[in-house]
Amino acid sequence: MAWIPIKYNLRSMKARIIPTLVAMSGIAGVVAVFLAMLSMARGFLETVKTAGVPDNAIVLKAGGTLDLNGLTFNQGWTTTGRAFQGVFFESPNIVSAAPVSVLSNNLNWTNFSTLPKGHYRVWTLVQKPDGTSQYAPADSVAPHVNTYSVLIEAAANGLCWVCMVNSTPVNVQ
């Protein structure tokens, strides 16, 4: 195959300056839009990664009844959780005909907006002496009645939301 000398290509681009500039600006525009989309996607991903607290999981049902229907809710991934953080179930009515299991981090609470109807078991992930971890029953320490939306609204309005936290465990069995 014969090679075309580079000076022929440069001479052709010079002779067709307008189409060359249109093609170059079109390619540059596509690259710029592509880079902008990648950077926005990366920024959104970083925002989602760092927003909120990783120890929290929230289940909301606006009005009506939240039927957990024998759900096993697994939010346990660390043995170094914090009190008050954890799982929030919020609805005017929380029910389940079948037993519900809530698996959470050690020290985390399971917060219900109202006392749930049905059979609920709460477990927290605890560290064993050999360094491994396992779920242990936490029915007497983890379940609490706290309404997430009320606490968040109070915090947003500059009120003492900590004063509104119910720190007394409740019996959900």
pLDDT band at 31 (very low <50, low <70, confident <90, very high): very high
pLDDT band at 54 (very low <50, low <70, confident <90, very high): low
Q: In terms of domains, do 117 and 153 share one?
A: yes
Q: In terms of domains, do 99 and 66 share one?
A: yes
Nearest to 82 by CA among 53, 60, 103, 58: 53
* Residue 9 pLDDT exceeds 60: yes
Does some domain include residue 61?
Answer: yes
pTM: 0.59
pLDDT band at 32 (very low <50, low <70, confident <90, very high): very high
How far is the C-alpha of 4 from the C-alpha of 21, rounded, in Å?
22
* Residue 115 pLDDT exceeds 70: yes
Q: In terms of domains, do 15 and 99 share one?
A: no
How far is the C-alpha of 144 from the C-alpha of 90, rounded, in Å?
12
Average pLDDT, the chain: 83
Does some domain include residue 94?
Answer: yes
Q: In terms of domains, do 76 and 121 share one?
A: yes
**Rounded mean pLDDT, 66-88:** 78
Q: In terms of domains, do 69 and 145 share one?
A: yes
Structure tokens belonging to residue 96: 């389940």
* Residue 53 pLDDT exceeds 60: no
Domain that holds residue 85: 57-164
* Residue 133 pLDDT exceeds 70: yes
Domain count, the chain: 2
Q: In terms of domains, do 16 and 87 share one?
A: no
Does some domain include residue 1?
Answer: no
Does some domain include residue 2?
Answer: no
How far is the C-alpha of 15 from the C-alpha of 19, rounded, in Å?
10
Q: In terms of domains, do 155 and 75 share one?
A: yes
Q: What would the DSSP string read from start to end of 129-146? A: TTS-EEEEE-TTTSEEE-
Q: In terms of domains, do 104 and 39 share one?
A: no
Does some domain include residue 154?
Answer: yes
The strand pairing partners of 133, in sequence order, are 127
Among 48-62, 63-77, 87-101, 107-121, the range scoring the smallest mean pLDDT is: 48-62
